[in-house]
Amino acid sequence: MYHGVTHASEKGRREPEKDESSAAQDGGEKKERVLHTRVPAVLERELKRFADNLRVPVSNLVRTILEDAVKAADVAGEGMENRLKRAAQALEEKREKMNERLERSLAQAALREAIAFQAVRLTRETACGRCAEKMPRGTEAHLAVMPTMDAPRLFVCSACVPQEDEEGETP
């Protein structure tokens, strides 16, 4: 439960203290707030003993401990966030590589069905259907002519076009 802190005004009546955002708007300094909490008797004794050993007031010790705990939580949260981002990025890269391998495998299977290869000049960058090398715009490539009209359009670079061997067969 939170309690509002009050202070006495010039007229003697008690008014609620402004929050930090309104203090910042007034151009005022950062105002400290009082926070009441219940702690077990054992914790109270330990805090008082520790404060006595350090020769500081208990309130200063508690404030320092809370500030350090919040900073540690922020650092831990940022570290975990960064680790999660890196893991997500690694998963994304692996997914992309698997998709590329799958597409290349499907393209290579489809290329085995090709009945001819027609020489063409590319008007946009395209990847070779066999080796996946990028072929820039203006490059001479070869369109795989497929036996059916619904087959995908596949292009291969000059190095990947099947060549006839000495017996007149294509590999």
> In this structure, how many other beta carbons lie within 10 angstroms of the beta carbon of residue 107?
19
Bridge partners, 122 (sequence order): none
Determine contact, residues 154/110, Cβ cutoff 8 Å: yes
Q: Which of 15, 18, 65, 17 is nearest to 37 (CA)?
A: 65
- Residue 1 pLDDT exceeds 50: no
Determine contact, residues 23/7, Cβ cutoff 8 Å: no
Q: Read off the pTM.
A: 0.40
Residue with tokens 């404030």: 63
User: How confident is the model over 13-54, as pLDDT tens digits?
Assistant: 555 555 555 544 555 567 778 888 898 999 999 999 999 999
| pLDDT for the residue 166 | 47
For residue 106 the two structure tokens come to 């499907």
Determine contact, residues 112/129, Cβ cutoff 8 Å: no
